[in-house]
């Protein structure tokens, strides 16, 4: 298990909010990711943008169409 230690930079990034975008301009799963990214970011002490990037990478690397499919790899 990797231990994550927050830095002052991480705290500032987590405190920032993702600006509100029109949901219609995003793919459905991206809207879902953005909704939960803040909570995940706080839990992992990383930026919400980093969460979105990691989810995109996970989907691409697993060939998954959505987060539900990708979650099968974690179990």
Quickly count helices (H) and strands (E) in the chain: 4, 0
pTM over 0.95: no
Domain spans, the chain: 8-14+26-74
Residue 13: predicted pLDDT: 47
CA–CA gap between residue 18 and residue 65 (Å, rounded) = 24
Q: Which residues of 30-67 are buried (b: 16+ CB within 10 A; e: fewer)?
A: beebbeebbebbeeeebbbebbbeebeeebeeeebeee
CA–CA gap between residue 65 and residue 24 (Å, rounded) = 19
Query: pLDDT tens-digit profile of 16-61?
Result: 444 554 545 556 666 676 777 888 888 888 888 888 888 889 888 9
Query: pLDDT tens-digit profile of 53-71?
Result: 888 898 889 998 888 888 8
């Amino acid at each position: 298990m990797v231990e994550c230690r927050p830095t002052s930079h991480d705290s500032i990034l987590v405190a920032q909010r993702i600006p509100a975008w029109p949901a219609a301009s995003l793919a459905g799963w991206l809207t879902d990711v953005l909704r939960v990214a803040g909570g995940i970011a706080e839990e992992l002490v990383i930026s919400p943008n980093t969460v979105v990037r990691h989810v995109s990478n996970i989907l691409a690397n697993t060939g998954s169409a959505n987060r539900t499919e990708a979650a099968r790899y974690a179990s």
